[in-house]
Structure 1
Amino acid sequence: MTPSPQNWTRVRRLDADRLSEELYARTGLRLTVEGPCPGGEVGAAYVRWPDGRRSVLKWRPDTRIEELRAGPLAVCDVLRAHGYPCPSTELALQVGHASVLVQELLPGTPVDRLDHEGLDRALALNEAQAGLLAPRAGIPPMPLYLLDDGPGYCLHEPLRRHSRRSRDLERRITALGADRPRLLTGRDVVHHDFHHGNLLWTGGFVTGVVDWDGACRGDRRFDLVTLRFGLHASEQAPGVADRLDDILDGLPEDVLRVSWAHMSLRMVDWAIRHFAPDEVGHWIDLAERRL
């Protein structure tokens, strides 16, 4: 059962307090937990250092810190070297089965409603991700999971069991995956969860892009498909989604179709397992537009 928002906040607070004590025992650094970060599906909390500086404590269960260093953290190092507004990692430790990170707290607040200026900024950020990983061949490419399950997301069985529409959608996804590579390759940075809620904004400018936990190598245009699914979650400024749809219409079919299939599987599976039953059809409606 998915915890209620109140219980989820309490669980995150307990985890953050426990991890703060573990970090103190390991490093001698005392971080005071202020409270959970708003939103998101993974653990994150605001913490304060002894000198008063604030950071973000994040933890990922069933993840090895070596995997993060070889993938997402390496990607963020490349981004920051090119002036991209990506948070630095101030501390990274393995605590049992979980990877624990303390990351820079960037200024700004998340974008709740994307307008045309915000879309312009998002598109510029996406363009800035092009080709950055050309010299970093060791950073892993993005898996698509069109034929098999991802690690806790992109699960196929929930779609097979839920309804006729979701079963039909899953069949189309696997049929497409049977004729395509299992990886989305490329030389670009892929954020992997590039929606407007992960953009920090202040004074008319994007001051940060956060939640790089799934960052990898691939085709940056995948993130535009992710952004389109993010716009579907809530009402946006008039014309913004249509404008992004026009951009997607111009993408190469081999990029657009597999990216759309991946995001359709990801969001419909997540909606079935975590959202209210009447929300599932909302995501199937979007998925069926291009599948």
Structure 2
Amino acid sequence: MTSTWSRVARLDVGAVVQEVAERTGVLLEVKGLCSGGEVGAAYVGWDDGRRSVLKWRPGTDLKDYQAGPLAVSEAARLAGLPVPRTELAVELESAIATVQELLPGAPIATLDENLLGQALDLSQSLRGLLSGESEVPSLDLYLTVDGPGFCLHGPLRSHNPRTARLDDWITAVGTAHPGPLAGDDAVHVDFHPGNLLTLDGKLTGIIDWDGAGRGDHRLDLVTLRFGLHGAPQDPAVIAQLDTILNDLPPDVLRPLWAHMSLRMTDWAIRHFTPADVDHWLTLAESRLH
């Protein structure tokens, strides 16, 4: 049975494909929705039979996207990482649309030690990757100010005393470590198993670079740790990643952990259940020191 969200997404993707054709002359055929009906991405076909992924981002400026996320993903791709090539980027009426190479593999369901090792190697490959890309902006962790639609402090301050205490800690960390995030590493920002593709035990792709920017690649390790908290995982893998985080200097780990604590707790407050809020709070509070 087609869900309401899937019907809405099909209407949206049809309108996007039509507008792309009007603006560029490129005719794409919709082949289906990505991620089981997720709004914002669809499989499309070219007239030569190739299949790609069409994505659209409302409220995004094409020039900002090209100078930021697209420049970062291209730097990673040209360095030999398994990153999809962006085949088309076009500004629409109220969004941008991109068409990206379809990589082999499927998102990781459970991260095992073999795949964790490969993910860590890929993360290491992002170090210093933007040292020659001076126009790529540095990332903001939003520890003392609200982010653009995410990392909002107000929901934490008003939800309950526990989330308010977390926000007090986040703000204090931000005051001690003012942004933007230092470093010339390429940072994916959404480095979790759902954005890592695998086939026959090998990582075949890193997808969804829409928030990527310049900074410290170790943010991706913290993001991965939060990503592992989202679904049942191998305890040995979690322990291995925790050991890596334990070895980071406190001045490095604290602002990165504060960012992800804010990001996930705020999102849960505004979009999910009280149980989900408690779920993320439990992880966030594990390193409040």
Q: Which deviations, in whole Å up to 9, do the C-alpha atoms of 1:149-207 show, x marking residues without a partner? A: 11111011111121111111111111111121221110111000000111100011111
Please state how far the C-alpha of 1:41 moved relative to its aligned partner: 7.0
Separation in 2, partners of 1:39, 1:235: 20
2:35 is paired with a residue of what secondary structure? coil
1:234: which partner in 2?
Answer: 231
Q: State how many pairs are aligned.
A: 287
2:13 alignment partner, one of 16, 27, 30? 16
2:158 is paired with a residue of what secondary structure? helix
Structure 2 residue 127 is the aligned partner of structure 1 residue 127:
no
Please state how far the C-alpha of 1:7 moved relative to its aligned partner: 2.7
Q: What is the one-letter code of the residue matched to 2:13? A: A
TM-score, normalised by the number of residues in structure 1: 0.95
1:206: which partner in 2?
Answer: 203
2:122 is paired with a residue of what secondary structure? helix
Please state how far the C-alpha of 1:253 moved relative to its aligned partner: 1.4
1:257: which partner in 2?
Answer: 254
Report the CA distance shift for 1:206/1:40 in structure 2 as closer, same or farther (over 3 A). Answer: farther
Is the 1:110–1:200 contact (alpha carbons within 8 Å) kept by the matching residues of 2? Answer: yes
1:74: which partner in 2?
Answer: 71
Please state how far the C-alpha of 1:50 moved relative to its aligned partner: 1.5
Percent pairwise identity: 56
1:288 alignment partner, one of 271, 285, 288? 285
Report the CA distance shift for 1:103/1:196 in structure 2 as closer, same or farther (over 3 A). Answer: same
Is the 2:5–2:37 contact (alpha carbons within 8 Å) kept by the matching residues of 1? Answer: no
Separation in 2, partners of 1:176, 1:282: 22
Separation in 2, partners of 1:7, 1:152: 24
Separation in 2, partners of 1:21, 1:43: 15
1:276 alignment partner, one of 273, 284, 288? 273
Separation in 2, partners of 1:248, 1:42: 34
Separation in 2, partners of 1:121, 1:40: 29
1:95: which partner in 2?
Answer: 92
Separation in 2, partners of 1:149, 1:40: 30
1:113: which partner in 2?
Answer: 110
Report the CA distance shift for 1:227/1:41 in structure 2 as closer, same or farther (over 3 A). Answer: farther
1:143 is paired with a residue of what secondary structure? coil
TM-score, normalised by the number of residues in structure 2: 0.96
Please state how far the C-alpha of 1:27 moved relative to its aligned partner: 1.8
Q: What is the one-letter code of the residue matched to 2:27? A: R
Q: What is the one-letter code of the residue matched to 2:50? A: R
Separation in 2, partners of 1:239, 1:37: 31
Please state how far the C-alpha of 1:32 moved relative to its aligned partner: 1.1
Please state how far the C-alpha of 1:39 moved relative to its aligned partner: 6.2
RMSD: 1.4
For structure 1, the 5+ residue unaligned runs are none
Q: Which deviations, in whole Å up to 9, do the C-alpha atoms of 1:8-53 show, x marking residues without a partner? A: 3222221111000011111222111122210697611111112221
Separation in 1, partners of 2:112, 2:150: 29
Separation in 2, partners of 1:202, 1:133: 29
* Matching of residues 46-57 of structure 1 within 5 Å: 46-57=43-54
For structure 2, the 5+ residue unaligned runs are none
Q: What is the one-letter code of the residue matched to 1:274? A: H
